[in-house]
C-alpha cells in the first residue's frame, strides 16, 4: 500500500531533503521528496540518485523486499520525475556519498516525460544556446543551482552590510519619463498613448531621496537597449545602488570596497559546498583596494606600449592592457568630466576632471559612482553642456532648491560581481532567465 504522509509520520519516519542525508543520520527512518536525478536498474537492485536544491542522495531498493505497487512505480520511473520515497538511512562506505537510504517504498508524485530535451546530469555537454533554451532544466544541474545559492547569500550579505551602515532600502519607479544615463540605450514603452521609458538606473530618485533618508540603497532590475552583444552586457541587469548625504566620492568608495570584502567573506563562510561544486577557491580581498587616477591609467598604458589620448573613455582593449598591471579589485578615479554623466561633480580645483570612479576587477567594470552635483545652477549648466534639455529635468532640478545636501553614491552591477565570485565569464550564466538583444524567451 502507498503510505500516506500521516501514517508515515506515525510510523516514526522523519521528513528530510535528499541534500540533508548525512552519515550522522545512520539508522534513522526518513521520508523524502526529490527529483530522480539518475536511475540505475541492476535487476535485483534499483538505484535512484535523488536530488533537492541543496544536494543529492542515493536511494537503494532491493526488489525482493518490495511490495508490487512499489515495484510498478520503480519500473515506470523516468528521470526528473518528482518522487516521494521512504526508508532507512545507512552508512555505505562503498558508495560515492558514504551514505544511502535503503528504500522501503516509493510514490511517483509528478512523472517527467520519457525523453527529456536536455541532460540534467551534465554527462552530455550542451551549448550556451541549448542551455538557455531549456533553462529550467539547466538550472537543476547542481553546479548551476550553486550559482544562485551563492547569489542568495550575496543579496543577504549586501542588505546586512548596508543596513548596519545606516542605509534604508527603497524602491524607485521602473517606468520613467526621462532618460538618466544617456538616450541611446533606452527602451521606449507606450504609456497610455504617451512615450515612457524603462529605467536605466534609479539615479535621479536616489539622489532626491537623500533629502529624506540621508542614506538609501536599492537592489533592482534596470533596462538598457544594449546594441552590443558581449559576454558582460544584457538588456536587463540588476544594480545595487547606494546614495548618501554628507559623503563624497572617497567616502562611498570606502563603503563599496568594505561591502565587497564583506560579501566575499560571507560567501566563503556560508557557501563552501557551492564554491567546491564550481571549482572555485575564493579568499576575501584585502582592503583598501588600489586606487589609480585616469591620468595614471593613461601613463601605465603608455608604458605598456599602448597609446591612448587624454579625454576618451577607457574602452575594452585599453582595460585589457591595464589589467596586465592591475590584478584583482582596483579603482580608477578622476575621469574627464566630459565623459561622465551630467550629475557627476567636477573637481573644484580642476573642473576638466570629475570626482568620479569606477570599480574594476581586472578588465571588468563592476561599479561606477562619484560625488554628485548639489548646486542647482551647476546642474542646469551641466545638463546643457551634455546636450540635454533642462526643461525635461525641471521637477528634478527643483528639488535642488529645497535643501539639497552634498552627496555621493554608486551603482554596482550585481551580476558582474557574481561573475567575479563564481569565476564565470558569460554574464548569462549568472542570470536565471537572461535577456539580451537576441533572447526574450524563456
Note whether 318 binds ligand AMO by CB under 6 A. Answer: no
- Contact residue for ligand AMO among 239, 337, 354, 422 (CB under 6 A): 239
Instruction: Name the catalytic one among 37, 334, 416, 428.
Output: 416
Note whether 346 binds ligand AMO by CB under 6 A. Answer: no
Nearest to 252 by CA among 344, 381, 153, 382: 344
* Residue list 145-184, contact with ligand AMO (CB under 6 A): 181
Does residue 233 carry a catalytic annotation?
yes
Note whether 207 binds ligand AMO by CB under 6 A. Answer: no
Note whether 345 binds ligand AMO by CB under 6 A. Answer: no
- Contact residue for ligand AMO among 145, 153, 201, 337 (CB under 6 A): 201
**Minimum distance between the CB of residue 324 and ligand AMO, rounded to whole angstroms?**
21
Instruction: Name the catalytic one among 226, 243, 257, 355.
Output: 226
CA distances from 312 to 315, 336, 347, 405 (A): 8, 8, 18, 31
Which segment (24-32, 85-93, 160-168, 367-375) binds ligand AMO by CB under 6 A?
A: 367-375
**Minimum distance between the CB of residue 366 and ligand AMO, rounded to whole angstroms?**
5
Note whether 337 binds ligand AMO by CB under 6 A. Answer: no
Sign of the Cα pseudo-torsion (251, 252, 253, 258, in order) = positive
What gap in Å lies between CA 155 and CA 108, rounded to an integer? 35
Does residue 416 carry a catalytic annotation?
yes
Size of site (CB under 6 A) for ligand AMO: 22
- Contact residue for ligand AMO among 89, 367, 418, 421 (CB under 6 A): 367
Does residue 384 carry a catalytic annotation?
no
Note whether 186 binds ligand AMO by CB under 6 A. Answer: no
Listed in sequence order, the residues at least 6 apart from 296 whose beta carbon sits closer than 8 Å to its beta carbon are: none
- Contact residue for ligand AMO among 255, 410, 419, 422 (CB under 6 A): 410
Does residue 232 carry a catalytic annotation?
yes
By C-beta, is 49 or 314 nearer to ligand AMO? 314
* Residue list 218-237, contact with ligand AMO (CB under 6 A): 224, 226, 233-234, 237
Nearest to 153 by CA among 412, 439, 414: 414
Does residue 135 carry a catalytic annotation?
no
| Cβ–Cβ < 8 Å for 254, 333 | no
What φ, ψ does residue 9 adopt, rounded to 5°?
-60, -40
Instruction: Name the catalytic one among 368, 407, 415, 429.
Output: 368
**Minimum distance between the CB of residue 291 and ligand AMO, rounded to whole angstroms?**
17
Note whether 295 binds ligand AMO by CB under 6 A. Answer: no
- Contact residue for ligand AMO among 34, 142, 409, 434 (CB under 6 A): 409
**Minimum distance between the CB of residue 307 and ligand AMO, rounded to whole angstroms?**
25
**Minimum distance between the CB of residue 169 and ligand AMO, rounded to whole angstroms?**
16
- Contact residue for ligand AMO among 52, 81, 153, 203 (CB under 6 A): 203
C-alpha cell of residue 64: 525482493
Nearest to 276 by CA among 97, 422, 140: 422
- Contact residue for ligand AMO among 34, 105, 142, 411 (CB under 6 A): 411
**Minimum distance between the CB of residue 237 and ligand AMO, rounded to whole angstroms?**
4
Residue numbers of the site for ligand AMO (CB under 6 A)?
A: 181, 201, 203, 224, 226, 233-234, 237, 239, 241, 365-369, 409-411, 413, 415-416, 427
Catalytic residues, which ones?
Answer: 224, 226, 232-233, 365, 368, 416
Amino acid at each position: 500500500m502507498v503510505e500516506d504522509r500521516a501514517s508515515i509520520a506515525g510510523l516514526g519516519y522523519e521528513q528530510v531533503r535528499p541534500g540533508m542525508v548525512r552519515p550522522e543520520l545512520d539508522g534513522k527512518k526518513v521520508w523524502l521528496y526529490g527529483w530522480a536525478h539518475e536511475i540505475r536498474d541492476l535487476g535485483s537492485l534499483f538505484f535512484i540518485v535523488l536530488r533537492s536544491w541543496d544536494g543529492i542522495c542515493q536511494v537503494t531498493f532491493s526488489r525482493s523486499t518490495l511490495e508490487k505497487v512499489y515495484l510498478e512505480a520503480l519500473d515506470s520511473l523516468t528521470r526528473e520525475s518528482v518522487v516521494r520515497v521512504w526508508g532507512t538511512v545507512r552508512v555505505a562506505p562503498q558508495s560515492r556519498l558514504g551514505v544511502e537510504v535503503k528504500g522501503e517504498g516509493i510514490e511517483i508524485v509528478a512523472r517527467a516525460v520519457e525523453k527529456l530535451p536536455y541532460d540534467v546530469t551534465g554527462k552530455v555537454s550542451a551549448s550556451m544556446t541549448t542551455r538557455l533554451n531549456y533553462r529550467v532544466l539547466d538550472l537543476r544541474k547542481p553546479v548551476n543551482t550553486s550559482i544562485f545559492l551563492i547569489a542568495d547569500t550575496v543579496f543577504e550579505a549586501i542588505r546586512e552590510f548596508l543596513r548596519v551602515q545606516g542605509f534604508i532600502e527603497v524602491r524607485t519607479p521602473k517606468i520613467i519619463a526621462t532618460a538618466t544615463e544617456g538616450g541611446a540605450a533606452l527602451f521606449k514603452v507606450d504609456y497610455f498613448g504617451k512615450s515612457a521609458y524603462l529605467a536605466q538606473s534609479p539615479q535621479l530618485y536616489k539622489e532626491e531621496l537623500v533629502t529624506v533618508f540621508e542614506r538609501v540603497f536599492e537592489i533592482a532590475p534596470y533596462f538598457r537597449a544594449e546594441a552590443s552583444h558581449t559576454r558582460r552586457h544584457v538588456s536587463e541587469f540588476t544594480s545595487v545602488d547606494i546614495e548618501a548625504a554628507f559623503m563624497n566620492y572617497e567616502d562611498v568608495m570606502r563603503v563599496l570596497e568594505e561591502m565587497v570584502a564583506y560579501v566575499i567573506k560571507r560567501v566563503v563562510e556560508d557557501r563552501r559546498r557551492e564554491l567546491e561544486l564550481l571549482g572555485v577557491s575564493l579568499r576575501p580581498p584585502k582592503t583598501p583596494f588600489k586606487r589609480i587616477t585616469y591620468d595614471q591609467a593613461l601613463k601605465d598604458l603608455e608604458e605598456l606600449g599602448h597609446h591612448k589620448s587624454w579625454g576618451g573613455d577607457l574602452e575594452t582593449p585599453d582595460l585589457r592592457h591595464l589589467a596586465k598591471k592591475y590584478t584583482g579589485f582596483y579603482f580608477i578615479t578622476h575621469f574627464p568630466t566630459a565623459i561622465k554623466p551630467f550629475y557627476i561633480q567636477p573637481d573644484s580645483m580642476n573642473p576638466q576632471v570629475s570626482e568620479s570612479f569606477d570599480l574594476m576587477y581586472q578588465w571588468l567594470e563592476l561599479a561606477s559612482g562619484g560625488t554628485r552635483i548639489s548646486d542647482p545652477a551647476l546642474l542646469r549648466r551641466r545638463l546643457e553642456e551634455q546636450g540635454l534639455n533642462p526643461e525635461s529635468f525641471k521637477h528634478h532640478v527643483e528639488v535642488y532648491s529645497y535643501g539639497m545636501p552634498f552627496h555621493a553614491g554608486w551603482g554596482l552591477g550585481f551580476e558582474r560581481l557574481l561573475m567575479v565570485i563564481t569565476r564565470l565569464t558569460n554574464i548569462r550564466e549568472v542570470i536565471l532567465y537572461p535577456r539580451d538583444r537576441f533572447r526574450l524567451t524563456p
